[in-house]
Amino acid sequence: MIRWILLTSVVVIGLCAIDLQAVEHTVGDGESITAVIAVAEEGDTVRLTGSIYRENLVIDVSIHLISEVNSTIRGGYQGNVIHVRAPGTVLEGLRISEAGPHLTKDMTVVLIEADDVVVRNCAIDESLHGIYVKAGQRARIVGNTIEGRLDLIESDRGNGIHLWNSAGNTIEDNEIFNVRDGIYFSFANDTVITGNHIHHVRYGLHYMYSNNNSFRENFFENNVAGAALMYSEDIEFDRNTFARCRGFRAYGILLQSMGRVTARSNLVLDNSRGIFMNNTNASTIAGNDVVDNDLAVQLNGGCDGNTFNDNNFINNLSELLLDVSDRETRWADADSGNYWSRYRGYDLDRDGIGDTGFVIQNVFQILESNVPEVRFYLLSPAAELLRAAEAALPILRLGDAEDPRPLMRTSSNAEVPWHTAEEFAATGNAFWAMAFVMGAVLPLGTLLVLSRKPKKRSPPRVGR
């Protein structure tokens, strides 16, 4: 007993000695951060009180580099601005800018090559990559703003946060914009992404060969794709918003060569394509709201064993686009299918499930699958006439995609984050509503114009 007390006392005294040895260094205007780091000991705090420091830092000792006045460290567009090589380093409250411009050399504002590093409440701009975690484990990147360079074309910009050969990271409450990809994963496993706002980038999240990751409660808007998940397995995402991803090849969610994905309680709102899946297997898409998209779901080849249930598909221009047979997709689980705003069935036994199945593709969508150019006429009177004729005289085979247990009322997906779309809802969809109206009348107007007799054209004037 006495021996144990003595041993405990020695440990406590040793820890106190370490605490007593920790020193706070202050670096003011005109002083060198590099010079102070050179004499700092492990556990010291280096506090910046000046406004601007024109330096490129290499941190080889575990310190807490902090500013409470948003001091700026400018790298002069030469190499990495801060290179962290000491485990346990903390960067907090800094503005860091002006990384080198050479993307092939992975130049970045903050390069992390150590474990357990924290970057918190920093403002990063004039970046190539914003924060690059290179073989470091368990990084915590929290509460930062990362802005890319608009003077570079998208392909020449770096990523907001780039993870390579890294695991166990936490990325939380950051805002990322005007970069190439918001957060890029390459061989980065077991990472949790929470509460980030990523906008005006190519892909909000981009997974490559990264397994066992989760992301939740993030807001992705105005990107080419909200999330592009590729060549990975066991990804879970829930309570995210994917909104306003518009363009010829734009997606709310893109799944390419994925396995065992679980997507629950997400809002997929006002995208060119809501959910795109290619070569994706054994995945569950459940309890999501897919609303106001041009195309709700696109399924390409190699999609086997996927289940859609308890989703609300509301006011999408097209529900489903297939390029293959859809015998392998389950559009319901054992209890129920999905709510489709286009469903016109009945429920005689009043159990909340339609007594007839919902054939998801209509005749116009079958034509669209084979001839994408007809999409221009999606809202035309001709398309509506074709739908009505097929409903009255169903002589065409519309494919294998059918929800056998369609819901009569919307599923109560209480965790879908509609609150993130309040500002969007308040401003309305005036632009796209006008586009829809024009789409309906332009084809008819074109036919009327073409039906008119052409007038004789006057010869062009010469020598004016």
- pLDDT score of 355: 94
- pLDDT score of 386: 56
- pLDDT score of 433: 40
Residues of the chain with pLDDT > 90, as a percent, come to 72
- pLDDT score of 359: 87
70 alpha-carbon distance from chain centroid: 29
Range scoring the smallest mean pLDDT among 77-86, 183-192, 385-394: 385-394
Diameter over CA atoms, the chain = 114
| Structure-model confidence comparison of residues 208 and 387, the more confident one | 208
Task: Please say if the pLDDT value at position 150 is more than 80.
Answer: yes
Do residues 42 and 62 lie in contact, with contact meaning Cβ atoms separated by under 8 Å?
A: yes
Q: What angle do CA 320, 324, 327 make, to 5 degrees?
A: 80
Do residues 69 and 95 lie in contact, with contact meaning Cβ atoms separated by under 8 Å?
A: no
Here the tokens at position 13 are 């005294």
Range scoring the smallest mean pLDDT among 27-31, 169-173, 456-460: 456-460
pLDDT band at 464 (very low <50, low <70, confident <90, very high): very low
pLDDT band at 22 (very low <50, low <70, confident <90, very high): confident
Average pLDDT rounded to a whole number, residues 446-451: 41
Task: Please say if the pLDDT value at position 231 is more than 70.
Answer: yes
- pLDDT score of 382: 60
Q: Which residues pair with 264 in a beta bridge?
A: 238, 286
- pLDDT score of 453: 45
279-330 tens-digit pLDDT? 999 999 999 999 999 999 999 988 999 999 999 999 998 899 887 666 789 9
Which DSSP string corresponds to 335-379?
S---EETT-----TT-SSB-SS-EE---HHHHHHHH-GGGGGGTT
- pLDDT score of 425: 53
Provide the CATH topology of domain 22-201: Pectate Lyase C-like (2.160.20)
- pLDDT score of 18: 47
Mean pLDDT taken over the chain: 85
Q: What angle do CA 90, 128, 38 make, to 5 degrees?
A: 35
d(CA 327, CA 303): 10
Helix, strand, coil abundance in the chain, percent, nearest 5: 20, 35, 45
Determine whether 385 is exposed, middle or buried from the number of CB atoms within 10 Å of its CB (0-12, 13-18, 19+).
exposed
Determine whether 90 is exposed, middle or buried from the number of CB atoms within 10 Å of its CB (0-12, 13-18, 19+).
middle
Do residues 65 and 84 lie in contact, with contact meaning Cβ atoms separated by under 8 Å?
A: no
Q: Residue type at 123?
A: A
Q: Residue type at 272?
A: S
d(CA 133, CA 155): 20
Q: What end-to-end distance do the CA atoms of the chain give, in Å?
A: 111
Task: Please say if the pLDDT value at position 427 is more than 90.
Answer: no
Q: What angle do CA 300, 376, 241 make, to 5 degrees?
A: 55
Tokens 């080889």 — which residue? Answer: 60
Here the tokens at position 288 are 């999501």
pLDDT band at 411 (very low <50, low <70, confident <90, very high): very high
- pLDDT score of 461: 40
Here the tokens at position 237 are 């995402």
CA distances from 352 to 296, 339, 345, 347, 355 (A): 23, 10, 11, 7, 9
Instruction: Enumerate the CATH 2.160.20.10 domain ranges in the chain, comma separated.
Output: 22-201
pLDDT band at 87 (very low <50, low <70, confident <90, very high): very high
- pLDDT score of 367: 52
Average pLDDT rounded to a whole number, residues 166-171: 98
- pLDDT score of 391: 58
Here the tokens at position 432 are 């796209």
Average pLDDT rounded to a whole number, residues 339-352: 93
Per DSSP (E only), the strands in 75-230 are 82-84, 90-92, 95-97, 108-112, 118-120, 123-125, 129-134, 140-142, 145-147, 161-167, 170-172, 175-177, 181-189, 192-194, 197-199, 203-208, 214-216, 219-221, 225-230
Task: Please say if the pLDDT value at position 121 is more than 80.
Answer: yes
138 alpha-carbon distance from chain centroid: 21
Average pLDDT rounded to a whole number, residues 107-135: 97
Residues of the chain with pLDDT > 70, as a percent, come to 78
- pLDDT score of 422: 72
In the DSSP assignment, the letter for residue 461 is P
Average pLDDT rounded to a whole number, residues 174-187: 98
pTM above 0.85, yes or no: no
d(CA 408, CA 223): 33
Here the tokens at position 382 are 């001709």
The phi, psi pair for 330, rounded to 5°, reads -100, 115
Do residues 81 and 109 lie in contact, with contact meaning Cβ atoms separated by under 8 Å?
A: yes
- pLDDT score of 432: 42
Q: Which residues pair with 148 in a beta bridge?
A: none
Here the tokens at position 117 are 């590093």
Tokens 């389950």 — which residue? Answer: 330
Task: Please say if the pLDDT value at position 179 is more than 60.
Answer: yes
Task: Please say if the pLDDT value at position 400 is more than 60.
Answer: yes
Task: Please say if the pLDDT value at position 429 is more than 50.
Answer: no
Determine whether 297 is exposed, middle or buried from the number of CB atoms within 10 Å of its CB (0-12, 13-18, 19+).
buried
- pLDDT score of 2: 57
